Amino acid sequence: MKKRVALISVYHKDGITEFVQQLLEENFEIIASGGTARHLLAAGLPVLDVSALVGGGPILGHRVVTLSREVHAGLLAKKTAEDIKELSDLNIPFIDLVCVDLYPLNEEINKPGSTPKDVIEQTDIGGPTMLRSAAKGRRIVVCDPNDRAKVIDWLKDGSPNEAEFLNALAAKAEYIIAQYCLLSAGYHSQKLYTGHIGERTITAKYGENGYQAPAYLYKNCLDENDPFALTAFELAAGDSPSYNNLCDIDRLIQTMTHVAATFQTNNGTVPFIALGVKHGNACGAGFNYLDRGLALQKMLFGDPVALFGGIIMLNFPVDEDLAELILHSGTESRRLLDGIIAPAFTEKAIDILARKKGKCRLLTNPMLPYLSKDDLDQQIIHRYVRGGFLAQPNYTFVLDMHDDRLKRYGPALHNVREHDLLFAKSICDTSNSNTITLVNDGQLIGNGVGQQSRVRAAKFAIEIANECGHDIKGAVAASDSFFPFVDGPETLKDAGVSAIITSSGSVKDEEVIAFCKLHNLALWMIPDSVGRGFYNH
């Protein structure tokens, strides 16, 4: 049986010896580039250095070796008698398999102190060129170390469904190269050129509405180490999340990380946090430093009507007792939820929470108990608009009570009210603007989101709190931007609010300050340019 030929050129040598050994067992001859060849020879494996194949050997300090007609002829030749004879006449081998990984361009770009010269030096040319030639020639293209075992298994199985298998490998190679080129273009153009690169991970039956079908979740492969990416949450039970579920989970992550970052920044520790959302906005939220069940109950009873069919997220595990609390506390019938997200569920908890047809999705992320201010999403946000997309930095403002720019007026607050203000601010800043958020004793009691005037947002928050039977007396309020008139603070004061956190920057600031002082209302103000909380405008 005629031997096949494999060309190996890898930057990261982990596992490559074992892979090549397996290729040898499958009757392959091995050609390798300089560093890879030396590594394999040191391991005692038979290998031909590619420099012996190319005409004239390596040049320009070994920067040009695989960029040769011999290599690419071996990759692009067709399995026709004419092409095979021409290769034979030129003493060029037909190359059946290419295993290449690329210089670590992304690592170099993100390295502190890296210069354009450094980035250019770490920009691979030969690797992408070989991958593209191999992809076009429909060779066995291995550009992902995770695919090596799959390729060996396929070879051992007799190469079934060859065309389909090779096409899938070729498509991945083109994808990896596109990702690589986009990184380079974005860096050298200072983001004049940018784009989206992703790999489909979830297929939803439809999008926001039934006629928007199908819908997909793509993972961002330029940022694969994010412990709170949606793809880092594992399905423990229930149906695959829907498009709307995924949108809500994304919003929950934003709110949860902001709450955790705010408490860690100001108190040094993160409490037990329970959040519930409907249409992305918090309709229930509670925290407690000692009692998980109390934090959970505060969330469940925030706005029970709005929470119906919603999704909740907890930064603590769910056992049998908490599962019973989620489903039955304060309600005669089973509480209906679309999803519950927690670090973990016990088996009994899963049995209790499961809904018919998998309608309650249980998702886990073991990193939730360890949330810190370092877990705020730092990625650029892209938003589709007709004919293009917008881009902006992420929402990363966290209120620090020791910030000199934070001005306080009126009476001083005790710790409970300060904690409530921190909680309200972090929820308000991750709710659709305009928003007024009411919190009392560690519980969200009213979230007046998405209003077109600030006073209406205040009235809406008060209406929700009253409708749900909450006592507003002594509660605190957060506003995601300044009050353009005194009517907002007046509405909140009349309802019983004792403290407000907002931003400054209105021409009416002095009137707002004077009003709050007159009525003994605590007022915290951060400049609008620093701490405005507009979100999903």
Pairwise CA distance, residues 86 & 76, whole Å: 12
Residues 349, 472: one domain? no
Percent of the chain with pLDDT over 90: 87
Residue finishing a domain among 159, 188, 217: 188
Its sign, for the CA torsion 504, 505, 508, 510, is positive
Cβ neighbours for 204, distance < 8 A, ≥ 6 positions apart: 214, 215, 216, 217, 240, 241, 242, 243, 246
**What confidence score (pLDDT) does residue 428 get?**
98
Its sign, for the CA torsion 330, 335, 339, 343, is positive
Encode pLDDT of 152-168 as tens digits: 999 999 999 999 999 99
Indicate if the pLDDT at residue 64 is higher than 80.
no
Q: Look up residue 224 and give its two tokens.
A: 């694969």
- In a domain? residue 89: yes
Encode pLDDT of 474-503 as tens digits: 999 999 999 999 999 999 999 999 999 999
Residue 381 has phi, psi (to 5 degrees) of -95, 130
- In a domain? residue 16: yes
Residues 501, 425: one domain? yes
Residues of the domain holding 522:
399-531
- In a domain? residue 47: yes
pLDDT band of 371, cuts 50, 70, 90: very high
- In a domain? residue 288: yes
Encode pLDDT of 224-250 as tens digits: 789 999 999 999 999 999 999 999 999
pLDDT band of 59, cuts 50, 70, 90: low
Pairwise CA distance, residues 200 & 426, whole Å: 32
Residues 325, 464: one domain? no
Q: What 8-state DSSP symbol labels residue 221? A: T
Residues 169, 288: one domain? no
Mean pLDDT score of the chain, rounded to an integer?
94
Mean pLDDT, range 97-107, rounded to an integer: 93
CATH number at residue 484: 3.40.140.20
**What confidence score (pLDDT) does residue 1 get?**
61
Residues 150, 34: one domain? yes
Q: Look up residue 517 and give its two tokens.
A: 């002082």
Pairwise CA distance, residues 237 & 224, whole Å: 24
Q: In what order do the strands lie in the sheet with 522-527?
A: 234-237, 361-364, 339-342, 311-314, 272-278, 281-288, 443-448, 436-440, 476-479, 499-504, 522-527, 407-409
Tell me the pTM. 0.90
Residues 251, 129: one domain? no
- In a domain? residue 48: yes
Its sign, for the CA torsion 467, 470, 475, 476, is negative
Instruction: Provide the number of structural domains found in the chain.
Output: 3
Pairwise CA distance, residues 107 & 256, whole Å: 29
CATH number at residue 88: 3.40.50.1380
Residues 8, 86: one domain? yes
- In a domain? residue 162: yes
Its sign, for the CA torsion 19, 21, 22, 23, is positive
- In a domain? residue 222: no
Pairwise CA distance, residues 450 & 20, whole Å: 59
User: Percentage helix, strand, coil, to 5, in the chain?
Assistant: 40, 20, 40
Q: Look up residue 113 and give its two tokens.
A: 């102190």
Residues 434, 485: one domain? yes
Residues 352, 442: one domain? no
CA distances from 438 to 278, 397, 470, 479, 522 (A): 17, 20, 10, 9, 14
Residue finishing a domain among 188, 215, 241: 188
Residues 64, 180: one domain? yes
Encode pLDDT of 381-421 as tens digits: 999 999 999 999 999 999 999 999 999 999 999 999 999 99
- In a domain? residue 220: no
Residues 172, 278: one domain? no
Q: Are strands 381-385 and 388-392 parallel, antiparallel or unpaired?
A: antiparallel
Peptide bond before residue 161 is cis, with ω within 30 degrees of 0: no
Residues 24, 169: one domain? yes
Is the pLDDT higher at 536 or at 22? 22
pLDDT band of 355, cuts 50, 70, 90: confident
Pairwise CA distance, residues 301 & 464, whole Å: 12
- In what helix (H) or strand (E) does residue 312 lie, and over which residues does it extend? strand 311-314
* Under 8 Å between Cβ of 461 and 424: no
Residue finishing a domain among 157, 188, 219: 188
